[in-house]
Structure formats: C-alpha cells, structure tokens
Homo-oligomer: A and B are copies of this chain.
Amino acid sequence: MARQMVAVIGDGVCDRATAAVAEEVGRRLAEAGVTVVCGGLGGVMEAACRGAKAAGGRTVGILPGDRASDANPYVDIPIVTGMGEARNVLVVKSADAAIAVGGRYGTLSEIALALKLGKPVVGIRSWQLATAAGPDTGVIPAETAAEAVALALAMTGT
C-alpha cells in the first residue's frame, strides 16, 4: 500500500487549464498517500508533480533521455533510461492505474499499453477510441480531477 503508485500521463506541453487539472490530480493523489509516477518532463507531467509536492507527496519521473537534469524540478526520483519512447512502457508497468489528462500520441501509447496490461485507465478530456466493431470502453471518462482520482483509487482497491 505504501508502495502504491498511480501514473499521470499527458503531453509535455499543455495549456493552463490542462495544467490546472493535472496539478489537482497530483495533489489529490498525494493526499491519498499515493506516489505519482510520470514521464518526468514538462507540461502535464510537471503540473502533476508540482501538485503532489505541494501536498507533501512523492514523485517519480521515468525519463526518456540520458540526463537526470532533464527532470522537471518537482521530480523526487529521476529514473534515467536513455530509451526514448520505450520508457512509456515503464511508466505504465510501474503504476497500479493511470490517469490521462488530455494528451497526444505519446499519451495514447501509454493508454494502450496500460489497457493491454489490464490496468485501470481514467481519462480527462483525453482520447476516445473505437474499432470497426464500435466504441471501445477501456478508458473510463472523468469530468474532473476529483472524479478521476476517486475512480482510479477505487479501481486499485485503495
């Protein structure tokens, strides 16, 4: 339980409204005693880490590049992979659930990997998926940060 981690995934550049949502997600996770894990860079990742640190929480950034200094200033534990986009798999594998805030193709890859691994994924203004057979219901939609965190924690048994 003390080890529980939730991934916050989203784009490395984002507008102010998106950042505010991500920051609240990070804060609420920290308040629940959950470690925030993310890709360690800017945008949604930085906002989530900032929120978590403001609430006294713990943050892990799994970085694509070769330098710990690439991490945003709110990352406590920078994991340096030098693996580029392949690090997305590690973000998802290390988490008990994922919350996507907006996001572009990198986020979509993390959503897909989390769903493949059978992990709960909650999306706030994020991807909507469909196949030839109809809409895919893998991503659980949430309207607010509070709702997203509540859903993610409920599904991981916290």
CB pair A82 B85 closer than 8 Å: yes
Give the interface size bracket for A toward B: 35 or more
A14 proximal to B (CB < 8 A):
no
CB pair B84 A82 closer than 8 Å: yes
Minimum C-beta distance from A11 to chain B (A): 11
Question: Please, how many angstroms separate the alpha-carbon atoms of A138 and B82 in the complex?
Answer: 23
From DSSP, what is the main secondary structure of chain A's interface residues? mixed
Question: Please, how many angstroms separate the alpha-carbon atoms of A104 and B128 in the complex?
Answer: 14
A residues lining the B interface (CB < 8 Å) = 2-3, 5, 35, 58, 60, 62, 66, 68, 71, 75-86, 88-90, 93-94, 102, 104-106, 108-109, 111-113, 115-117, 125-132, 138
